[in-house]
Structure 1
Amino acid sequence: MNTELTRIAIIYHSGYGHTAKQAQAVARGAGSAAGVESLLIPVEDIEQHWATLEQVDAIIFGAPTYMGSASAQFKGFMDATSHNVFAKGAKWANKVAAGFTNAASRSGDKLATLQQIAIFAAQHGMHWVNLGLMSGHYNSKTTEDTLNRHGYFLGAAAQSNADESADVAPPLVDLRTAEHLGARVAEVAQQLAAGRRALASAASDLDSNTSAL
């Protein structure tokens, strides 16, 4: 039985605590899978974790959407990877990636932020994992309590009322959607790791059989 641990990092910025709450939900979802360890990393602490990120199996990125894009603090982290990761030989290549975002508006141009993060992951040669849920609230028979109520497919989106603190926003359904994303990434990361081990084992067996001829 395989006992190797799958490690997933969640890197995020949160301006008012709402996106941090969403990040915590993503981490819960990822950590709910047996054999998975999730690590929460606010971008303010990134300098302590560059080496750790080279060792994890997956990285999930999260940022609030401000004025149609990821927050300046998260963009600063993205830019820092150009010399801390990219220039050092594509250190994140073939890791699993995913993204989430939060805004006060139902849309708030959150798709632009998810696209921004997905392109960023592609620049690092990562494998993007989408949300994997159908649109939740799209007809008269569906409700606001359905996962993916906002109808995003690229990643997880949450909505937090501007006049409510992180104690009450985002709502539970958006946090459950975030948990789903974390669990989905964990599953894909484990499948990919298992596939790599199986291929390595098959190659080893082939070498042994060839040597015996």
Structure 2
Amino acid sequence: MSKNIVIVYHSGYGHTRRIAEAVAEGSRGHLLAIDAEGNLPEGGWERLEAADAIIFGSPTYIGNVSWQFKKFVDQSSKVWITQGWKDKLGAAFTNSASVNGDKQTTLYTIFTMAQQHGMLWAGTGLMPSNAKSAQRDDVNYLSSFAGLATATPSDASTDEMVAGDLRTAVLFGERVRASAERLA
């Protein structure tokens, strides 16, 4: 069954956009970028209203979502008051330069927003790569479960992103799609 999945995200330097593209590949979802001023493009709110599942993405800056993403969250109160996203499937991802970088705070910020909207939640569902033999290119090397967490060195271009993180993003997108189909 075909599901309408929207990936709404902000990306400051292109790395989070690249993760969003990989998530879209796996979920067969549609990208919806939050611009540098924290706004959605024309028709963006309507696209989110029509979605069966919404995957939220923000870089982690100083231990939380970007201000542009936070502006979007604050603007979503107009949706909250009507319970417009209630019972939609939600999920989240983040990217930052550090392996930890307090990414879980970003994911929990998005999770809390989704719960206030009454959304259902999909985590990664991926086993961690945590054995001595683990390599940075393994799937779910950062061992995140509440949402997708990826890391890109601050001096790396989008072409130099970790292949394992991109593969993890595709698998995460596939999980959200399968979850949305199961809920249907």
If you compute each CA radius of gyration, which structure gives the higher value, 1 or 2? Answer: 1
TM-fit CA distance, 1:43: 1.2
- CA–CA separation in structure 1 for the residues paired with 2:42 and 2:70: 15
Report the TM-score when normalising by structure 2. 0.94
- Matches of residues 170-189 of structure 1 in structure 2 within 5 Å? 171-189=162-180
Of 21, 24, 28, which aligns to 2:25? 28
- CA–CA separation in structure 2 for the residues paired with 1:76 and 1:142: 38
TM-fit CA distance, 1:152: 0.8
| Alignment length (residue pairs) | 180
Of 128, 131, 134, which aligns to 1:142? 134
Name structure 2 gaps, 5 residues minimum. Answer: none
Give the number of the structure whose residues are more often helix, by fraction: 1
- CA–CA separation in structure 1 for the residues paired with 2:76 and 2:112: 14
Of 65, 83, 86, which aligns to 1:70? 65
Structure 1 residue aligned with 2:83: 90
1:43-78 CA distances to partner (integer Å, 9 max, x unpaired)?
Answer: 123452111211111000000000000000000100
TM-fit CA distance, 1:166: 1.4
Structure 2 residue aligned with 1:126: 119
| Letter in structure 1 aligned against 2:102 | D
| Letter in structure 2 aligned against 1:81 | S
Structure 1 residue aligned with 2:74: 79
Find the residue that maps to 1:98 and give its secondary structure: strand
The question of 1:159 aligning with 2:156 is answered no
- CA–CA separation in structure 1 for the residues paired with 2:34 and 2:116: 19
- CA–CA separation in structure 1 for the residues paired with 2:131 and 2:179: 31
Find the residue that maps to 2:159 and give its secondary structure: coil
TM-fit CA distance, 1:164: 1.3
Find the residue that maps to 1:6 and give its secondary structure: coil
1:110-129 CA distances to partner (integer Å, 9 max, x unpaired)?
Answer: 01000111111101110010
- CA–CA separation in structure 2 for the residues paired with 1:155 and 1:78: 17
- CA–CA separation in structure 1 for the residues paired with 2:42 and 2:147: 26
The question of 1:109 aligning with 2:109 is answered no
- CA–CA separation in structure 1 for the residues paired with 2:140 and 2:44: 31
- CA–CA separation in structure 1 for the residues paired with 2:90 and 2:41: 17
TM-fit CA distance, 1:188: 0.7
Of 40, 58, 63, which aligns to 2:31? 40
Find the residue that maps to 1:142 and give its secondary structure: coil
Report the TM-score when normalising by structure 1. 0.82
Find the residue that maps to 2:138 and give its secondary structure: coil
Structure 1 residue aligned with 2:182: 191
- CA–CA separation in structure 1 for the residues paired with 2:87 and 2:96: 30
TM-fit CA distance, 1:183: 0.5
The question of 1:15 aligning with 2:12 is answered yes
1:123-157 CA distances to partner (integer Å, 9 max, x unpaired)?
Answer: 11100101001211x22122222210011111111
